[in-house]
Structure 1
Amino acid sequence: MSVANEPSFRESVDLMFNRAVGLLGLPPGLEEKIRVCNATYTVRFGVRLRGEIKTFTGYRSVHSEHMEPVKGGIRYATSVNQDEVEALAALMTYKCALVEAPFGGSKGGLCIDPREWDEYELEQITRRFAYELAKRDLIHPSQNVPAPDMGTGEREMAWMADQYARMNTTDINARACVTGKPLNAGGIAGRVEATGRGVEYALQEFFRDPRDIEKAGMSGSLDGKRVIVQGLGNVGYHAAKFLSEEDGCKIVGIIERDGALTNPDGLNVEDVRSWIIKHDGVKGFPDASYTENGAAIMEEDCDILIPAAMEGVINLSNADRIKAPLIIEAANGPVTAGADKILREKGCVIIPDMYANAGGVTVSYF
């Protein structure tokens, strides 16, 4: 999401990094070494589909190999590009370091809209992408381990693991080449909901400390807090579900691709999720007000705002209108460096993504 005078996502990550290392007093050479991505591989491959050869572009970026394997998701989205993948790989390094998971950071992406292809076609594309990465050791149990991300899930991970196993028939650890697999294919219980669960735990910890609550100008516990969730994908859905079912939060707004739903009495997350799966959007959902301009709902009055979809959704164009006193970054980089400054000056407290959404990589480590 580009806004005039706004740094790119990659520049935003670098600006945040610079601000952090400015407090550490690292030697300049080491600063630069940590900041840059070690390697990025771009792969373009063809797959015969619908009677012709379709060409796809994919990336796998390795930010730091100070510990191996390197770890990080693979996303399927039309917005995927080299800068985005490198920024996400850097965030993975910092995230793993923060939660003390012994991995370097990596990230991958395929420039594709998964909704445009049926399951069989998507499997052909995924297997070919995995083949291109695996033959260069960019998928490898002891060197580079992908995970699900936006647009991918257990199914894609199972295809990738199977493709790797077919290419490495004697590798006893072949299944460990990806995480986020289905349980019946060697996955771990709790991985699907792990990132959303981590968001819930981060908020629970926040509300345990009176100093944190006071800094955000809030009081009491999570019970009854009004929450707006932007993006009801895997992370947003599980975070909203757990917060409403277990902590007494009211999900007063849900923002999706085709607009937003609001209900001051709270939305039933399960019902909304079922509606999205059936109707490919939130429009027409009963028991709620619908707004076509979903992004505007992020500026509505609430206690906690959870951006859980794309990077850069809170930026210079809307930061001064955000009313939430507490933002928890469930997505990667949803608040730009410029917006971060505006929000902090307003007294808004931001729980950063590299801590808040580290539940996924933590369970992957298990």
Structure 2
Amino acid sequence: MSVSGEPSFRESVDLMFNRASKLMDLSPGLEQKIRVCNSTYTVRFGVRLRGKIETFTGYRSVHSEHMEPVKGGIRFALSVNQDEVEALAALMTYKCALVETPFGGSKGGLCIDPRQWDEHELEQITRRFAYELIKRDLIHPAQNVPAPDMGTGEREMAWIADQYARMNTTDINAKACVTGKPPHAGGIQGRVEATGRGVQFALREFFRHKDDMAKAGLTG
């Protein structure tokens, strides 16, 4: 629990899962197996910036590999920690399962304030983080495919895709190692707006159901 007595983000995700699993006919032990993350890789790496070596901490968590590739964004934020990344990876598994997309769930994060660094410095940091993940197959078109998240966007995905291509010169599917690339670098139109559009559709569906609106105390 957090200092305020409120459940942490990780605990909130687990509470939601526990509530749902009680309504399901799961075999003994399966509930625990689904809840926990399969693996989390923590990396600490140095980059020479502004005349000294700066050390950064990053994570890539794989929640479930029941379907591959696993899918999930990479966020750049000072709030990034292992608990948050594992909770977000679990949510990715559940989201993919609910809408029946054939991916497992993963998530990555780098503990950094991207506003503190200029573009050239951020590219060096992103490429080094990508290098550490790529060499362990934690970024790979057939195994683990990141996407933009908080603090990252098309620019960072283009850097990651280019870094993967440099390290895997014969991989015909190299561009598929990340989604959310700019259209000129193999991305697709509409990706930037996709998250907001999803929120729009979810809200529209919610307000179609009067019982749910009444429970939430909302009038629309």
TM-score in terms of structure 1 length: 0.58
Provide the secondary structure at the position in 2 that maps to 1:151.
Answer: coil
Query: Which amino acid in 2 is paired with 1:32?
Result: Q
C-alpha change, 1:217 and 1:39, in structure 2 (3 Å) is closer
Residue 34 of structure 1: aligned partner: 34
Residue 119 of structure 1: aligned partner: 119
Provide the secondary structure at the position in 2 that maps to 1:63.
Answer: strand
Residue 109 of structure 2: aligned partner: 109
Q: Structure 2 unaligned segments of length 5 or more: list them.
A: none
Residue 218 (structure 1) shift: 5.0
Residue 97 of structure 2: aligned partner: 97
Residue 172 of structure 1: aligned partner: 172
Residue 27 (structure 1) shift: 2.0
Provide the secondary structure at the position in 1 that maps to 2:26.
Answer: coil
Residue 20 of structure 2: aligned partner: 20
User: What percentage of aligned pairs have identical amino acids?
Assistant: 85
Residues of 2 paired with 1:101 and 1:127: CA distance? 29
Query: Which amino acid in 2 is paired with 1:195?
Result: T
C-alpha change, 1:21 and 1:123, in structure 2 (3 Å) is same
RMSD over aligned Cα atoms: 1.5
Residues of 2 paired with 1:142 and 1:198: CA distance? 26
- 1:266-307 CA-partner distances (Å, limit 9, x unpaired): xxxxxxxxxxxxxxxxxxxxxxxxxxxxxxxxxxxxxxxxxx
Provide the secondary structure at the position in 2 that maps to 1:122.
Answer: helix
Residues of 2 paired with 1:24 and 1:205: CA distance? 24
Residues of 2 paired with 1:20 and 1:218: CA distance? 24
Query: Which amino acid in 1 is paired with 2:129?
Result: F
Residues of 1 paired with 2:193 and 2:88: CA distance? 20
Q: In the alignment, does 2:213 pair up with 1:204?
A: no
Query: Which amino acid in 1 is paired with 2:37?
Result: C
Divergent runs of 4+, >6 A: none
Residues of 1 paired with 2:152 and 2:218: CA distance? 37
Residue 193 of structure 2: aligned partner: 193
Residue 158 (structure 1) shift: 0.3
Residue 133 of structure 2: aligned partner: 133
- 1:41-86 CA-partner distances (Å, limit 9, x unpaired): 0011111110111111100000000000000000001111111100
Residue 50 of structure 1: aligned partner: 50
Q: In the alignment, does 2:99 pair up with 1:67?
A: no
- 1:242-269 CA-partner distances (Å, limit 9, x unpaired): xxxxxxxxxxxxxxxxxxxxxxxxxxxx
Residues of 2 paired with 1:11 and 1:59: CA distance? 19
Residue 104 (structure 1) shift: 0.3
Residues of 2 paired with 1:4 and 1:213: CA distance? 29
C-alpha change, 1:215 and 1:14, in structure 2 (3 Å) is closer
Residue 215 (structure 1) shift: 4.3
- 1:297-343 CA-partner distances (Å, limit 9, x unpaired): xxxxxxxxxxxxxxxxxxxxxxxxxxxxxxxxxxxxxxxxxxxxxxx
Residues of 2 paired with 1:218 and 1:42: CA distance? 42
C-alpha change, 1:212 and 1:7, in structure 2 (3 Å) is closer
TM-score in terms of structure 2 length: 0.95
Residue 11 (structure 1) shift: 1.6
Residues of 1 paired with 2:102 and 2:196: CA distance? 22
C-alpha change, 1:169 and 1:6, in structure 2 (3 Å) is same
Residue 8 of structure 2: aligned partner: 8
Provide the secondary structure at the position in 2 that maps to 1:149.
Answer: coil
Structure whose alpha-carbon radius of gyration is higher: 1
Residue 28 (structure 1) shift: 2.8
1:195-234 alignment, distance < 5 Å:
195-217=195-217
Query: Which amino acid in 2 is paired with 1:81?
Result: N
Residue 217 (structure 1) shift: 4.9
C-alpha change, 1:11 and 1:218, in structure 2 (3 Å) is closer
Residues of 2 paired with 1:157 and 1:92: CA distance? 18
Residue 214 (structure 1) shift: 4.5
Q: Structure 1 unaligned segments of length 5 or more: list them.
A: 220-224, 226-366
Residue 16 (structure 1) shift: 1.4
Provide the secondary structure at the position in 2 that maps to 1:54.
Answer: strand
- Alignment length, in residue pairs? 220
Provide the secondary structure at the position in 2 that maps to 1:193.
Answer: helix
